[in-house]
A and B are shown apart, each in its own frame.
Chain A
Amino acid sequence: MSRLLLSLENIGKVYPRTVRPGQRFSGFWQVLRRGEFENGICVLDGIDFEVRAGESFGIIGANGAGKSTLLKIITGVLAPSHGAIKRQGTSAALLELGAGFDPEYTGLENLHMNAAFLGLGRSEVEEKLDDILAFADIGEAIHEPVKHYSSGMVVRLGFAVVAVVRPDLLITDEVLAVGDESFQKKCIRWIERYLADGGTLLMVSHSMYQVQKLCRQALWLDAGRARLQGDVFDVTQTYLAWHERRSARQVEGEAQRRTDSGSLYTVEDLQVNGAGPDQAETVLQLGDRLVVETRLRSPDGRSPVVSVGIVRVDGTPVYGLSNEQEEIALAVDNDGFFPARLVFDRLALLPGGYIVRAHALDPEGLRVHDTLEVPFTVRGRTREAGLVRLEHRWEQ
């Protein structure tokens, strides 16, 4: 195993309540006497992970999940309230816009200061100055005060210093989203080469594409706790599915089960690879077999029509069909139900969260009487975009 650069053990963070003046004073008194305060707001709890040399680690999560707090603890800006953190080797953080830049000073002066923060001596900076300036590529503006810089220029300068320092561990926030297209590409290229040369990366991003592209491992933070951690594709895909489901719930929330009172034909049961609506969700790999089993009830013994649809969890339709279209009639079983079994041998759905919906229609196939749905998740190591993998080949 390679060298351990960073290890977090049961890290937690509690912020004090400091709204009323009295709370500040009691906080002060508690810290003075016992080195900690009570009655705080817990924003991180029980975070455990390790980063070894050569690894790349992504941290994802919704806004307010504690990502920034965790990054601050990792960089040492913030002390954890409990738990132990160990760091080894050099590290450099690229957090927020122009971290540690003084707007009154010129870019060059800030560059010197920033390099000093990263542990670079004055002579080393002089030696590498040309490289830094070439990377930043902001021309004569280097002699202007930073307060006159555009946000993109500030990021360029910050990144250029870090790029030349080449830390053992590079920690970045959402900053790369700031520069223009060509600079972003330059940064991504630099990070890829840095990783290929054995560098180690820890990044926070809302762009799952970037995380999947640059990271091998990921941690999903939810309300200050680690919801899932492991392989980047598993984590990001589960996270995305969760996200889509959450926004779908916010948008509609009604399409759960629409059984109008006068419904005649009902969907009694729906199972996806053996899992029903109330059971643990099925997880498939891209290309696996998907089996949808339904059981319909008919009040008058006539064979109802079943329609099966697959939608993305946010409601985007992907595929739908009914037995009637394909001229297949449902047969009654011994219990008086009408079972149907639909098999997709090699499911072409790309990773993400999906829902199977089964609708019961009258024998004429005109009116939907009942709907039942079951969610499932597809995973896979791929960065293909969209909903389905289309048959394709490259020709040269």
Chain B
Amino acid sequence: MKGGHWWGLLPDLVRREIRNRLINTSSGWLWLIVSPLLLLGVYAFVFGYIFNARVPDNLDMPFIAWLAVGLWPWLAFSESLLKGSQSILNNASLISKVALPRELLVLSSQSAVFILHLFGYGVVLMTIQLTGTALTWQGLGYVTLLMVSLYLFAVGLGLILAAVQVFLRDLEQVLPTFLMFWFFMTPILYPPDLLPAAMADWMVINPMSLWMAEIRAGLFEAKWFPDLAFLPILMLSLLTLAAGRWLFDRLSPSFEDFL
């Protein structure tokens, strides 16, 4: 069996994943636009009206705009971890019948999540711009780079989680709670300087805070070039990807035995 033709299968598998998400919705493709707008509306109502939250002092914009710029990358990241971690178990019947490389299944489910959320991100950013908050679009290139690195980071973690989940099913119960905790530990709903000083030092070990800071710098402060702050991001995503690949290759020959 040639290695090459399997990679040509990736677009088909991604398309299948995306269609799986849409196949039972009556609105179909329209849902792609409606769903992020609904979510944006909910957050705007809760934080802009009920909590009346405010942005960090130096920025002049509605809180919801500040929140949304950080929220969508997080959604893509966390949901891709959840989907990716289940991808091997969910495709058990396919795995036991077709000899395709198993990492394709993780990759396709995670890619589908990223594609859907990136599309939503685009819709949301445009909405923010249209409702009167000026985004610095010259930073878009850098943000794209950041999203690519976030994707690689997520794939690395996803490969690890998917492989481990085949053996240890408990992960399925623990992961959503852990991701929620991670969400609150990351400056997404609040600015980093809101944290108590003792916690702020610990922020360094939360890699997602790096992405949040850089993505906001790109879209609010027109940061358009990667500088030293990007180096740990790049290193981390590449190392995680390498580790994920190693672990997955190690465990995948035994998947069938433990499914």
Contacts and interface: CB of A to CB of B under 8 A. Distances in A.
Given A24-B168, A25-B168, A79 B256 contact: yes
Given A96-B97, A102-B16, A16 B257 contact: yes
A135 interface: no
B5 A15 contact: no
A27 to B, nearest CB: 7
Interface in B19-34: 20, 23
B102 to A, nearest CB: 10
Contacts of B100: 117
Given A28-B164, A95-B97, A72 B258 contact: no
B96 interface: yes
Nearest to A99: B97
A87 interface: yes
B167 A27 contact: yes
A18 interface: yes
Contacts of B97: 77, 95-96, 99-100
B22 to A, nearest CB: 12
B129 to A, nearest CB: 37
A119 interface: yes
Interface residues of A, number: 34
Interface of B is mostly: helix
Given A31-B251, A32-B250, A112-B12, A77 B167 contact: no
A368 interface: no
Contact of A24 (B99, B167, B251, B256): B167
A147 to B, nearest CB: 12
Interface in A354-396: none
B254 interface: yes
A104 B253 CA distance: 29
Given A76-B1, A116-B12, A121-B8, A24 B94 contact: no
Interface in A49-105: 72, 75-79, 87, 90-91, 93, 95-96, 99-100, 102, 104
Nearest to B255: A79
Given A24-B258, A31-B254, A104-B23, A117 B167 contact: no
B9 interface: yes
A37 B254 contact: yes
A117 B98 contact: yes
B203 interface: no
A15 B98 contact: no
A87 B2 CA distance: 10
B96 A72 contact: yes
B75 interface: no
A156 B211 CA distance: 51
A18 to B, nearest CB: 6
A188 interface: no
Interface in B129-182: 164, 167-169
Contact of B99 (A25, A35, A75): A75
B246 to A, nearest CB: 11
Interface residues of B, number: 28
B95 interface: yes
A95 B2 CA distance: 20
Contacts of A104: 20, 23
Contacts of B95: 77
Nearest to B24: A104
B94 A35 contact: no
A269 to B, nearest CB: 54
A113 interface: yes
Contacts of A100: 94, 97-98
Interface string B211-230: 00000000000000000000
Contact of A119 (B2, B247, B253): B2
A159 B108 CA distance: 27
A78 B5 contact: no
Contacts of B98: 77, 99-100, 117
Contact of A32 (B1, B20, B251): B251
A95 to B, nearest CB: 6
Contacts of A91: 1
A113 B12 contact: yes
Interface string A22-41: 00110110011001110000
Interface string B77-115: 000000000000000001111111000000000000000
A377 B228 CA distance: 82
Contacts of A95: 97
A78 B167 contact: no
Contacts of A78: 256
Contacts of A99: 97-98
Contacts of B256: 72, 77-79
Given A32-B251, A100-B97, A117-B100, 20 more contacts: A15-B257, A16-B254, A16-B257, A24-B258, A28-B258, A35-B253, A36-B254, A72-B96, A72-B256, A76-B1, A77-B96, A77-B98, A78-B256, A79-B254, A93-B99, A95-B97, A117-B9, A117-B98, A119-B1, A121-B8
Interface of A: 15-16, 18, 24-25, 27-28, 31-32, 35-37, 72, 75-79, 87, 90-91, 93, 95-96, 99-100, 102, 104, 112-113, 116-117, 119, 121
7 contacts: A27-B257, A27-B258, A31-B167, A77-B95, A99-B97, A117-B9, A119-B2
- Listed from nearest, the 5 A-B pairs whose CB atoms lie closest are A76-B99, A28-B167, A99-B97, A79-B253, A100-B98
